Amino acid sequence: MSPVETANAALAHPQRFRVSGGARLVGEVRVTGAKNSVLKLMAAALLAPGTTSIGEVPEILDVAIMSELLRRLGCDVERDAAASTVTINVPEQLHHRADYDLVRRMRASIAVLGPLLARTGEADVALPGGDAIGSRPLDFHVAGLLKLGATVENEHGFIVAKAKQLTGATIWLDFPSVGATENLLMASVLADGRTEIDNAAREPEIVDLCTMLTLMGAEIEGAGSSTLVVHGVDRLQPVNHVTVSDRIVAGTWAMAATMTQGDVTVHNANAGHLEIALDKLVTAGATVDRTADGFRVIMDRRPTAVDAVTLPFPGFPTDLLPMALALNAVASGTAMVTENVYESRFSFVNELSRLGADIRTDGHHAIVRGRPQLSSAPVTTPDIRAGAGLVIAGLVADGETVVTKIHHIDRGYPAFDEQLRTLGADIVREDDDQPQFD
Ligand code: EPZ
């Protein structure tokens, strides 16, 4: 079944989680590669004809959609689920159009814009539009490509970028956008001359992309800093690369352990990518031990309320905001949680309030007054991270919480319910016989 058919099936036969509250999460889980890196690594493979192999590929819907996108551009893509690898055979000649039916399902499709333009001199990528967490424009991507000498038009719902040869330039990003940094990085590695990206994103996923591009033969300085310097080269080579582990999934387990007063060891995680988030859990009363391949979170009492302010890396990750709200919803005391990356990331607060959370929002701030326990209710998932936050909130609610539209969660959390069950959670995945369509 093609990924689009899989996606349609997920929508045509929606599923839901039935979560019974009360269990402490205890045990060990292993995190795979980061969704927010692997999708860009797969796009970066387009930069070099030949066979690139990527390891630690998570079993999520988005990987299937990116695979389909690459196939439509002319690549052969083999997924070995057992080995968690994707092998991409990139031809000399590539198509340069990324269709709407794939892009609308996964915004990360925009990551083919830079590599396609660099390789073929043209890229037609459907505009993804906004989603539940914000309008998410692409103006930084476009402004940067114009600086590199491309022409960029908006035609019939597509970004159409053209350039016979891109030329290095100095680009200043108004905000350290992850997506814009990645696209401009991948556009400039084959450009003529030197490119400097200032106020670049510093996320571990950016460093992972720089590592793979450098292995391919690119010349990049400053990975992980806010100034990236790229010296264009004529040609890149296909490589084998292993995806960095998913810090957002690892952070979700850490939050869940704290909320359920549990004891969870997370393997194949990098605590250094979660400094602020883990530090917040210590402030909330948890013990966090770093281990050889990750960390262990132990909580033996009700959490204490802890403020959080989301910022680009190394700040508190915006993708853990739903978990920070859910944690404070059952903590003792009152916390202020501030969102600085997206304009409507609080849109799911109504769903948390249905579970009895006491949250007042005002613009970018949310005041959360902790309650001893939440009360179960049917809730619906607006996006990947909010969905995970609602499931975890259901774990600390009395009674059964039904979480619908879980296809969102499956896009970012491999085998979420199975892993929760191994930690002792009472959660069931079932067909949703009263579906609410998107
Ligand atoms: C990536 O999105 C992640 N997605 C997001 O994770 C994550 O929340 C985000 O980075 C920030 O960490 C993927 O990697 C696939 P941005 P991206 O460009 O690249 C504004 C998840 O749940 N902006 O850093 O789209 C934008 O609207 C997802 O896994 C412009 O205004 O994020 C946003 O407010 C959700 N113009 C802010 O910048 C632009 O041209 C950050 O966006 C680009 C961005």
pLDDT at 341: 96
| Distance in Å, CA 371 to ligand 1 centroid | 32
pLDDT of residue 438 exceeding 60, the answer is no
Report the nearest atom of ligand 1 relative to the CA of 106: 15
Nearest CA to ligand 1 atom 6: 319
Write out pLDDT tens, residues 8-59: 666 677 899 999 999 999 999 999 999 999 999 999 999 999 999 999 999 9
Which 8-state DSSP code applies to residue 399? Answer: S
| Residue that the structure tokens 């960095």 belong to | 244
Substitution site in 138, 273, 341 for ligand 1 pocket (most atoms within 8 Å of beta carbon): 341
Percent with pLDDT over 90 in the chain: 90
pLDDT at 432: 87
Nearest CA to ligand 1 atom 26: 136
Write out pLDDT tens, residues 252-301: 999 999 999 999 999 999 999 999 999 999 999 999 999 999 999 999 99
Q: Which residues sit with their C-beta closer than 6 Å to ligand 1? A: 35-36, 39, 108, 134, 136-141, 175, 177-180, 318-319, 341-342, 384-385, 412
| SS3 (DSSP) at 278 | helix
275 alpha carbon, distance to own chain's centre: 18
Nearest CA to ligand 1 atom 8: 319
Write out pLDDT tens, residues 155-177: 989 999 999 999 999 999 999 99
Report the nearest atom of ligand 1 relative to the CA of 136: 27
Write out pLDDT tens, residues 174-219: 999 999 999 999 999 999 999 999 999 999 999 999 999 999 999 9
pLDDT of residue 4 exceeding 90, the answer is no
User: Residue 251, class by beta-carbon neighbours within 10 Å (0-12 exposed, 13-18 middle, 19+ buried)?
Assistant: buried
Tell me the helices (H) and strands (E) count for the chain, helix number first.
15, 26
What are the residue numbers of the active site? Answer: 131
Measured distance CA(18)–CA(338) in Å, rounded: 30
Measured distance CA(162)–CA(144) in Å, rounded: 13
pLDDT of residue 343 exceeding 80, the answer is yes
DSSP alpha helix (H) spans, 216-370: 247-259, 275-283, 321-329, 349-354
Write out pLDDT tens, residues 376-409: 999 999 999 999 999 999 999 999 999 999 999 9
Write out pLDDT tens, residues 58-106: 999 899 999 999 999 999 999 999 999 999 999 999 999 998 888 888 8
pLDDT at 254: 98
Report the nearest atom of ligand 1 relative to the CA of 182: 19
| SS3 (DSSP) at 108 | helix
pLDDT at 108: 92
User: Residue 151, class by beta-carbon neighbours within 10 Å (0-12 exposed, 13-18 middle, 19+ buried)?
Assistant: exposed
Contact status, residue 41 vs residue 70, Cβ threshold 8 Å: no
pLDDT at 12: 73
Report the nearest atom of ligand 1 relative to the CA of 248: 29
| SS3 (DSSP) at 226 | coil
pLDDT of residue 3 exceeding 70, the answer is no
Contact status, residue 113 vs residue 184, Cβ threshold 8 Å: no
Tokens representing 143 are 């402004």
Bridge partners (DSSP) of residue 89 are 51, 76
Phi/psi at 195 (5° precision): -120, 140
Substitution site in 136, 171, 316 for ligand 1 pocket (most atoms within 8 Å of beta carbon): 136
Measured distance CA(124)–CA(104) in Å, rounded: 14
pLDDT mean across residues, the chain: 95
Terminal CA-CA length for the chain: 22
pLDDT of residue 7 exceeding 70, the answer is no
